[in-house]
Amino acid sequence: MSDGLGFSLAQLRYFVVSAEVGNMSEAAERLCASQSTVSSAVMRLERQLGVQLLLRHHARGVTLTPSGRHLLREARDLLGRARNLKARGDALAGGAVGRLDVGFLASLAPFLLPGVHRLARQRYADLRLTFHEEPADRLAVLLGEGRCELAVTYDFLAGDARFHALAEVPVHAVLAEDDPLGGSGPVELAALAARPLITPNTPDDIRHAEKLFADAGVPLPRVIGAASVETVRGLVAAGSGFALMHQRGRATTTLDGGRVRTVGIADDLPPASLGVAMMPGLAMSGRGVAFLDVLGSVVPAGPSGPAGPPHPALGRASP
């Protein structure tokens, strides 16, 4: 498809250099091109623009026409912006420089994002991370629209995205600190189901809870939805029910002063994989590689348990 311009950056460069040195032969030497190539390129540019840019003087070089003088500054500016664009593209493709938009599953962000942000500042001073804390359905939109290069999430929420696993994280129960259930060790879901389940009120979180109980052959208890992980923990501390989480927070005190504790699940439930999702076919940038380096360092020491071996595709695009 034609862009309608009809001329190239090379033609503009030949015109600018010829005007600056005032001689086609000298311009050709600077441009490492033949005099005929430079002369022909400038003449084609004049035809395509519809104006004469240079006056040719036999044995005395070239001078700018009034039209050429008007257009010279704009040609220089356009070439400068093209060089800036090329430098920007090189930086985006090859190094940990510039802005990187990363999606974070909202229920994961409080556990991992602060550590990622702190470590990224230490390792990559020129990397500017912009985080988007969203539910899983919004993360899929941000990835699909190209507004985020990566999204930190779980495998069961990655949908059609390419997923790189970083760690396996088992599910555990969150109970009020004074709850006698589970005091002697892991608890069965059937025992927990006698009370309400408190969970973030997104469709994905509720579907995941339904699947966990279905896998264990236990009917889903009454569900109380909450807008945030911290509200879930606060309601649990208040004795309103229990929660199931893959994240394991270090703090046991909630914002209102209540206290919670975590208990293992006795049922044989498969762990989830924590990692990053990105669109299939998208080549990972240098900024993305730097982010994975940081995230891989935070996850092993984080609340979700030890990380597994790095995915073989980490740091490069999948074939």
pLDDT in tens, 45-54: 999 988 899 9
Would you say 119 and 298 are in contact if contact means Cβ atoms under 8 Å apart?
A: yes
Cα–Cα distance for residue pair 45/4, rounded to 1 Å: 14
Cα–Cα distance for residue pair 140/156, rounded to 1 Å: 13
Would you say 55 and 63 are in contact if contact means Cβ atoms under 8 Å apart?
A: yes
Would you say 180 and 283 are in contact if contact means Cβ atoms under 8 Å apart?
A: no
Burial of 3 (0-12, 13-18, 19+ CB in 10 A): exposed
Stated pTM of the model? 0.66
Tokens 């495998």: give the residue.
Answer: 155
Would you say 235 and 198 are in contact if contact means Cβ atoms under 8 Å apart?
A: yes
110 token code pair: 């409080």
Q: 83-116: per-residue pLDDT in tens? A: 777 766 665 555 677 889 999 999 899 999 999 9
Tell me which of 70 and 302 has the higher pLDDT. 70
Q: 231-248: per-residue pLDDT in tens? A: 999 999 999 999 999 988
Burial of 155 (0-12, 13-18, 19+ CB in 10 A): middle
Q: 246-273: per-residue pLDDT in tens? A: 988 888 999 999 999 999 999 998 899 9
**Identity at 220, one-letter amino acid code:** L
**Identity at 154, one-letter amino acid code:** Y
Cα–Cα distance for residue pair 92/48, rounded to 1 Å: 34
Q: 110-155: per-residue pLDDT in tens? A: 999 999 999 999 988 888 899 999 999 999 999 998 899 999 999 9
Torsion sign, CA atoms 154, 160, 165, 166: negative
Tokens 């995205």: give the residue.
Answer: 161
Query: Phi/psi of residue 214, each to 5°?
Result: -65, -40
Cα–Cα distance for residue pair 13/9, rounded to 1 Å: 6
At residue 21 the predicted structure's pLDDT band, cuts being 50, 70 and 90, is: confident
Would you say 155 and 308 are in contact if contact means Cβ atoms under 8 Å apart?
A: no
Q: For residue 183, give Cα distances in angstroms to 17, 193, 213.
A: 82, 17, 22
Strands 243-245 and 197-200: unpaired
